């Protein structure tokens, strides 16, 4: 059974990841490249840095400690084909991860795996890892001011887990106490609040950032839904082959 899960996860992630990599190429990547031109232009000024009452601003791309002059950076893919390749590869890896998590959830729940059910799970997963975290941490373009990275990542993961647990309790349990707990879990991460920067730094036009926030959520939704659809279709095809 594990082999089947791994093969279906791999294939579904590959199909969905490649499709979304193409989508990214035409939706989010052009905005990231455009934002980087503003970021580069504003870097020298940003390094001098305004002081927001002593609070530290971590400006995306300048690293944790501002270094005067050239930015000390390790390996990164060359702009163009190499960058597109690694972006696509990462999306495929993420999609395989999504597919395996989706399969794990459905199997643990004892659900029959087909396209319709897998799509419903994928939609719920997008609420947990896309919409809910975005409420606290809006999708950001390079150059945007942001709170400390580890704190944001921790908040993101905690929000995704709490929202997923909340959806499970709402949809799959009957007890009144479970519904109350579900409501608490849904609200708690936002009551605590995401780590935010002390001020605003980005030189990227607001219109560009707004477009990016919307597109980025749509891209994540597309990745979840396509992954779910592919998981359901490929799983049922395997089942038919085993039965035949």
Partner 1 sequence: MTGLSIAGAKTASARTRAEALRVALVAFFIGAALVFVSGFAHPEAIHNAAHDTRHALSYPCH
Q: Residue numbers of the site for partner 1 (CB under 8 A)?
A: 1-2, 5-6, 9, 24, 27-29, 32, 58, 60-61, 73-77, 83, 86-87, 89-91, 93-94, 96-105, 107-108, 110, 130, 133-134, 137, 139-142, 146, 149, 152-153, 156-157, 212-213, 215-217, 219-220, 223
The least CB distance from residue 149 to partner 1, in Å, is: 6
Tokens 């608490």 locate to 184
Residues 114 and 221 sit within 8 Å (Cβ to Cβ): no
Burial class for 113, CB neighbours closer than 10 Å (0-12, 13-18, 19+) = buried
Which C-beta is closer to partner 1: that of 94 or that of 236?
A: 94
Which C-beta is closer to partner 1: that of 201 or that of 229?
A: 201
The least CB distance from residue 129 to partner 1, in Å, is: 9
Which C-beta is closer to partner 1: that of 83 or that of 203?
A: 83
Residues 227 and 101 sit within 8 Å (Cβ to Cβ): no
Tokens 């849904």 locate to 186
Helix 206-243 with 28-48: angle, nearest 10 deg: 140
The least CB distance from residue 27 to partner 1, in Å, is: 8
Which C-beta is closer to partner 1: that of 151 or that of 184?
A: 151
The least CB distance from residue 51 to partner 1, in Å, is: 20
Helical spans, DSSP H, in the chain: 2-26, 28-48, 81-109, 115-126, 132-136, 149-172, 176-192, 206-243
Strand partners, 139: none
Residues 239 and 149 sit within 8 Å (Cβ to Cβ): no
Which C-beta is closer to partner 1: that of 89 or that of 180?
A: 89
Which C-beta is closer to partner 1: that of 145 or that of 182?
A: 145
The least CB distance from residue 187 to partner 1, in Å, is: 21
The least CB distance from residue 108 to partner 1, in Å, is: 4
Q: CA–CA separation, 230 vs 115, rounded Å?
A: 7
**Which H or E element spans position 59?**
strand 58-59
């Amino acid at each position: 059974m594990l082999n089947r899960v791994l093969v279906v996860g791999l294939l579904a992630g590959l199909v969905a990841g490649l499709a979304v990599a193409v989508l990214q190429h035409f939706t989010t990547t052009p905005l990231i490249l455009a934002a980087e031109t503003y970021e580069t232009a504003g870097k020298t000024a940003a390094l001098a840095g305004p002081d927001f009452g002593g609070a530290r601003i971590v400006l995306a791309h300048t690293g944790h400690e501002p270094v005067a002059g050239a930015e000390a950076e390790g390996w990164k893919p060359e702009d163009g084909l190499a960058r597109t390749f690694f972006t696509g590869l990462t999306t495929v890896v993420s999609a395989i991860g999504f597919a395996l998590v989706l399969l794990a959830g459905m199997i643990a729940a004892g659900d029959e795996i087909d396209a319709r059910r897998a799509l419903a799970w994928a939609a719920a997963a997008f609420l947990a890892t896309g919409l809910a975290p975005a409420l606290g941490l809006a999708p950001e373009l390079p150059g945007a001011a942001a709170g400390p990275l580890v704190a944001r990542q921790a908040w993101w993961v905690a929000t995704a887990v709490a929202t997923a647990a909340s959806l499970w309790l709402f949809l799959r349990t009957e007890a009144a106490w479970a519904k109350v707990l579900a409501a608490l879990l849904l609200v708690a991460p936002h009551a605590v609040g995401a780590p935010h920067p002390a001020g605003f730094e980005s030189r990227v036009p607001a219109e560009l950032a707004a477009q990016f926030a919307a597109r980025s959520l749509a891209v994540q939704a597309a990745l979840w839904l396509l992954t779910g659809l592919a998981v359901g279709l490929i799983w049922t095809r395997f089942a038919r082959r085993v039965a035949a």
